Structure 1
Amino acid sequence: MFSLSKPLALPPQLEWKFAHEPELLGWTIRARNYNTFVANCMFAFMSVVLVGLSYFLYSTPAGDEDVLYRLITSLCFYVIFSLVIASMTHQRMNFAFRFTQSGVECCNWKDFPEWALTFLKWLTALTAIFFIFMATIDPFFLLGALIGPGGLGLTYLSMAYSKSYRDMHTQYHHLIYEWKDFTQLAIATNREVVDLKFTHFDKRLGRIVNWSLNIFCRRKQKHDVAEFIKPFLSPGVPFIKAKVNVPLSTD
């Protein structure tokens, strides 16, 4: 029924509660668990602002800088801040869903983006080599080597060795629901999501919680997933199609 790519490995910090029960259906996926329209608009707006700032940096030299030097500096400025903005507006969370006779489990986690460190490290090395080479032609590029690669290097060090930064970009959550908890099933019309509203007692919060579980699906799978879920729900639970606003979390 489903065409799935290579599954994500569940991290050791998370494990299934109903692992002793046969899995009826399960998959993993990387998804943006927030309002993507707003995030995309923010990224587009900030990209336009960055283009303007980069052009201003290029067109207003502080001295007798070479045109190539100003171009490289402006480009580095744009690339660095574009990466910073993209890391905030285009983050993806890892999700693993598992369905059993007892209910639904969702593990979601966000690992620290090691790829960003690798990219920054190579970008720093390449720009340093370039500026050192250009300094053999014009010693003024030695200043550029301090500003460009130096700034990239400091960014790399702050990301690699800052515990608070790593903690901010690392998350682990395990959500567990019984079939009787769900009060509505909805197929999202605006995203590849099946939405399950639920009411249950949250032991961590110590109170009754009314919220939604967003089941992120791959393209053209949400209808099949919804039809699979429907027989497990209590009689009379509404099954609708509606626009779904993806919440940040169920905390």
Structure 2
Amino acid sequence: MKDFSYLKYLFILVIISFTACRQEKTSASGKEEDDDGFISIFDSQSMEGWEGDPDIWRVEDGLLIGELTAETDLKSNTFLIWKGGEPRDFELKVDFKITENGNSGINYRSERLEDIPFALRGYQADIDGKNTYTGQNYEERKRTTLAYRGQQTKINPQDPPGEIRDFVERNAWRGLELTKELGDRDSLKNLIKAEDWNQMHLVIKGNHLQHFVNGILMSEVVDEDLVNRSFEGFLGFQVHVGPPMQVAFKNIYIKEK
């Protein structure tokens, strides 16, 4: 009986320890962590931890929504900016849905502009309602397209150095060097659901930038541009100037490395 009681005691200790470990998955700020180390940065109830134009962004039915209406007078692209830091190496997972005429994106390692409210400049995982560009790497207010969907690229330095706009041609960076085809652009498009939920997964490490949609690698950039590349900065969701549209986000998780 003594041995049985001891084993029972050990069993109870194991259960208690397991429960404590599960409780530790929630940080002091209330952000839940899953088994892979991803931290939730949206509580599905409020805009806590985010900053943006309240006329554009709201929380509704557990979703983070950015919307333009016919009455919206938006002069420049606007962002909902995460206030939790300026991530360097990280992974981000987020589910998104966008209307047909929508234009949006996820900026990262970006800088804030002082003269325009809620504006970011930097790398962007593109999202659009017609899925023409969704998944590509587009640098907002800077070098423009760094990799189209279906491309692995190396970004070469400016030679000779000069103004950024001098090195942009047809909305793409002239230093873009195609190193590998990841797949046919239209075939990859067929893997993205129109006006339905999709998942964007960003894997950002050093100068290596990968954009996955629904588990498929859509674009990949190795940024060798010593002058213009960035290794840290703000994270934010975009609403682009344009016609009435709506973009929604949910299940927003980040894992910093």
TM-score computed with the length of structure 1 as normaliser: 0.26
- Choose between structure 1 and 2 for higher RCO, CA contacts under 8 A separated by at least 6 residues: 2
Which structure: greater helix fraction? 1
TM-score computed with the length of structure 2 as normaliser: 0.25
